[in-house]
Homo-oligomer: A and B are copies of this chain.
């Protein structure tokens, strides 16, 4: 399972953490990276995250047995197009993007005969601090890694992809790209949108700065994801727009229900409704198996 040459296309938090995790697992040979941010690449060299900088994605991918594309979602297609001619016939190509239908469509447009080497992946891990300087070898430990394999993928290649993520500590789940995008619109993309909107709604009030100075630990946790990387989340929200807007509609209906209970002042009904939610949330843990729906 050892990776002789890892090509890391994009050298930020996710790519850097993958490189560190692979090293820690004792599976890393040479790690080559490339990307538009020369400062980040220099930092990655200095930190020992990577061994070498290549001038472009094609040069990095040349001779690599594993190519990991870790760029903002909207950059995936041009990067895949650049990699395709250089990709070896036995190489494994993966991404780490937070949306999967668009990534599969982009791959079908540009990968040509190498399409079957591409196993789309999405590790459910992250921080609100972007950049390779925050890369963390433990980022994927005990996190889900979702694979949305293509019908064209050889079974052994998908096995290899799964084994790699498991070697980094992740729990692998296979899904269709449609099911993936619907689920993550609900549990990841919408919360980011809500956190951005909520923080914005408070901060732009005339007394906003004063309000913010009084906020405590509940606010801190609720808005943590509102500090997430703007370019990354612009792409995710636009790419998965239809599902995100559908989930925003579900949320607005639920909020309508709570506001209605406030307006009617029905204390018992409000308490019952809160209790139902609070108990369900108290029984939830990251990575828990699905329980019966309410």
A225 touches B222 (CB 8 A): yes
Interface residues of A in 234-285 (CB under 8 A from B): 234-235, 237-238, 241, 244-245, 247-248, 250-251, 253-255, 257-259, 262-263, 265, 267, 270-271, 273-278, 280-282, 284
A250 touches B215 (CB 8 A): no
Q: How far is the CA of A287 from the CA of B247 in the complex (A)?
A: 33
A191 touches B182 (CB 8 A): no
Closest CB-CB distance, A214 to chain B, in whole Å?
5
Asked whether any CB of chain B lies closer than 8 Å to the CB of A227, the reply is yes
Asked whether any CB of chain B lies closer than 8 Å to the CB of A228, the reply is yes
Asked whether any CB of chain B lies closer than 8 Å to the CB of A137, the reply is no
Interface residues of A in 205-226 (CB under 8 A from B): 205-226
Binds B, one of A10-18, A31-39, A192-200: A192-200
Asked whether any CB of chain B lies closer than 8 Å to the CB of A144, the reply is yes
Encode contact with B along A164-194: 1 for CB under 8 Å, 0 otherwise. Answer: 0000000001000000001110111011111
Asked whether any CB of chain B lies closer than 8 Å to the CB of A114, the reply is no
Q: How far is the CA of A156 from the CA of B288 in the complex (A)?
A: 54
| Most chain B beta carbons < 10 A, residue from A204, A233, A248 | A204
A262 touches B241 (CB 8 A): yes
B205 touches A191 (CB 8 A): no
> Which of B184, B217, B273, B292 is A126 in contact with, Cβ under 8 Å?
B217
B198 touches A191 (CB 8 A): yes
What is the interface size of chain A, counting residues whose CB is below 8 A from a CB of the partner? Answer: 100
Closest CB-CB distance, A268 to chain B, in whole Å?
9
Encode contact with B along A129-172: 1 for CB under 8 Å, 0 otherwise. Answer: 00000000000000110100000000000000000000000000
Which residues from B are CB-within-8-Å of A173? 214
Asked whether any CB of chain B lies closer than 8 Å to the CB of A75, the reply is no
B262 touches A216 (CB 8 A): no
Residues A208 and B248 in contact in the complex (CB < 8 Å), given A188-B215, A218-B191, A278-B229:
no
> Which of B124, B222, B234, B254 is A204 in contact with, Cβ under 8 Å?
B254
Which residues from B are CB-within-8-Å of A229? 278
B221 touches A292 (CB 8 A): no
Which A residues contact B (CB, under 8 angstroms)? 74, 124-126, 128, 143-144, 146, 173, 182-184, 186-188, 190-231, 233-235, 237-238, 241, 244-245, 247-248, 250-251, 253-255, 257-259, 262-263, 265, 267, 270-271, 273-278, 280-282, 284, 286-294
Query: Closest 6 CB pairs between A and B?
Result: A201-B254, A187-B215, A213-B290, A230-B275, A124-B216, A197-B255
